Amino acid sequence: MTPILDVRGLSKAFVMHHLDTRMGAFDNVSFTLHAGEFLLLKGRNGAGKSTLLRTLYRSYLASAGQILFHGPDGVIDLARAADVDVAVLRRTGIGFVTQFLAARPRVSAEALVAEPLRLAGTPQDEALAQARHWLAAFGVRQALWPAYPTTFSGGEQQKVNLARALIRPQRLLLLDEPTASLDAAARAALIDRLADLKARGTAMIGVFHHPGDVAELIDREIDLTPDTNLQEDRADVVV
């Protein structure tokens, strides 16, 4: 199997300056993720699931450990890589899906969704056609495609967010509660898209409030509850 990510002894703590103390988020997490694998992060509230995703994406700097990403140009340690290299990988190899849309004012939904393809060199007309396809797939009404997502409801914004994040296959996909605010039809469309990406070799790490939504996709689980950090093969897990 092709390795995509090697995480070795990864830890994250935050300095609470007003309390003159450090607060640990997670400690000494290690795992290897291969192409086409789906890893579920679980644990009680506050166990550090979302923080781990943000650390892997390099929104947070790790306190210790390595995040070895195996890309087409070699292996890079995301825990120590230069910001410019991380920015390139976010455009070309690592995707992040959250429940929140960072929409820009006066940018239409279809333009926002098409942007990742345009930045990758896809002709504008083709990128726009694919954007409209995925907006329709996630249930965004056609009348809203040329409108500004900043005016949409939370659920409609989440659908635009999913269409944008999943329009272009990546080597590694991080999923932070992507089913929040979605109706049943949109959740089904999301699961279908994730299954398609998984079959194509995309490696995924996800946090789901209701893991049963993606039960058929999960290969392994890591419990981040302190003093646990156990990895389990999906065959032994009951969701």
Q: In the prediction, which pLDDT does 232 show? A: 57
Task: For CA atoms 192, 193, 198, 201, give the dihedral sign.
Answer: positive
Q: In the prediction, which pLDDT does 236 show? A: 39
Query: Is the distance from CB of 131 to CB of 114 less than 8 angstroms?
Result: yes
Query: Phi and psi at residue 13, in whole multiples of 5°?
Result: -135, 150
* CA distance linking residue 211 with residue 227, whole number of Å: 22
Q: Domain 36-58+87-236, CATH 1.10.3720.10 — does that match? A: no
Domain boundaries in the chain? 36-58+87-236
Q: In the prediction, which pLDDT does 101 show? A: 64
Q: In the prediction, which pLDDT does 182 show? A: 85
* CA distance linking residue 157 with residue 116, whole number of Å: 17
Q: Which two tokens stand for residue 148?
A: 């500004």
Q: In the prediction, which pLDDT does 153 show? A: 86
* CA distance linking residue 117 with residue 107, whole number of Å: 16
Q: Which two tokens stand for residue 28?
A: 């000494």
Q: What angle do CA 46, 89, 12 make, to 5 degrees?
A: 25
* CA distance linking residue 229 with residue 233, whole number of Å: 13
Lookup result for tokens 């890589």 = 81
* CA distance linking residue 171 with residue 214, whole number of Å: 19
pTM of the model as a whole:
0.89
Alpha helices in the chain (DSSP H): 49-56, 83-92, 109-119, 124-137, 154-166, 184-199
Q: In the prediction, which pLDDT does 217 show? A: 96
- From first to last of its 239 residues, the chain has per-residue pLDDT tens of 779 999 999 999 988 767 767 777 899 999 999 999 999 999 888 889 999 999 999 999 999 999 999 998 899 999 999 999 999 999 889 999 887 766 677 899 999 999 999 998 999 999 999 999 999 999 999 999 999 998 888 888 889 989 999 999 999 999 999 887 788 999 999 999 999 999 999 999 999 988 888 999 999 999 998 765 555 554 333 32
